[in-house]
Amino acid sequence: MIVTIERLGHLGHGIAPGPIYVPGTLPGEVVEGTQDGDRLLDPKIITPSPNRVKPPCRHARACGGCQLQHASDTFVAAWKQEVVQNALAGQGLTAEFLPLVTSPSNSRRRATLSARRTKSGVLMGFHARASDTIAEIPDCQLLHPGLLAAFPGLQALVAAGGSRTTELSLQVTLTRGGPDVVVTGGKPLDATLRLDLARLVETHGFSRLTWDGETVALRDRPALTIGQATVVPPAGAFLQATQEGEAALLKAVKQALGPQKRVVDLFSGIGTFTLPLAEAMEVHAVEGDPAMTKALDLAARTTPNLHRISTETRDLFRRPLEPDELLSFSGAVIDPPRAGAEAQTDRLAQSKIPVIAAVSCNPVTFARDARILTDNGYRLDWVQVVDQFRWSTHIELVARLSR
């Protein structure tokens, strides 16, 4: 069967009439393969797109970690902006777009790897596309060199505490004290395993090891630098994937807010925006996770020369800040999870806050929430797309909304 790819879907698959989904293809390409339901098996490119490039990573064919390495950077940037434009159009909205910012290769400072013990040793990497098979990635072009350097130590952890029947998940984050490792799915802890794991943490220079929810070893503080502050996040806490991506998001947030006296940071996390903003203005940070609030509060109290930072632990899905609680703020930052923040956005729409910096990792829920604001007197001034997850379909953005 021969098909022509018309467009890319939100998962990065090429879509031909039918629809028929063909991963690894680009719009305009003519492809031959065997149809299986709505899929085309074993696709062969007959007519390649001018936007097709040789994947920069030798693992691209086997690994499912990246979906768009076969596409040029120019194409990916235009496609990601188009995804946001289409999401906005679905809500009847348009906006000016600032130039897209893309994180460089080998810049991912956190990743979640899969691993299991085998007869011959340890298998560790990312899952192959649409498969439970683990693809090894020793020359990954996505991960920071510091993460790749941690692979021998991570494999040693799996060899000591993994099994051949269970897959382990290893969340690894680069910190000033060394890689911070969170393992789930490992063997139950006993005295011998605790000792073995602690030795491996020391040998391989990990900062902290958390094993199925329990801190097994703390060799050094897993500290991060955010603005002028030092933050020690709880194990597994959310962190922007690259330093460059975080810097781009922060720059756009500052541009959106402009000079302010007092702002509220909703879904503040460990202080990604709170701490740098507090160098120039007062910030009230609201976060639902008490451990992250505690980490932010400690960083705020131990960093000199910041404006006042107040913190509040609060579930903004169940108890959003009400309009009367927002009266004292001249600006707001909101950075919700992928589900968006419909309830909190509704309260913001009823407030008198003149400017909002909206950060999102989901164009669809962002557009839904932006529509709530524009229906209540706000303008969508501009959108900044940040391609922090290079070669993936994931999209980050910052938008400015003002009254």
Q: How many CA atoms lie within 13 A of 331 on its CB side?
A: 24
The end-to-end CA distance of the chain, in Å, is 54
* pLDDT tens sequence across 235-246: 999 999 999 999
What pLDDT sits at residue 10? 86
* pTM for the model: 0.95
Q: Residue 233 carries which DSSP code?
A: P
Report how far residue 360's alpha carbon sits from residue 362's, in angstroms, rounded to the nearest whole number: 6
* pLDDT tens sequence across 82-140: 999 999 999 999 999 999 999 999 999 999 999 999 998 999 999 988 788 999 999 99
What pLDDT sits at residue 11? 85
Q: Which residues are designated catalytic?
A: 361
pLDDT at 375 over 90: yes
Tokens for 289, please give them.
């996770």
What pLDDT sits at residue 149? 98
Report how far residue 26's alpha carbon sits from residue 13's, in angstroms, rounded to the nearest whole number: 8
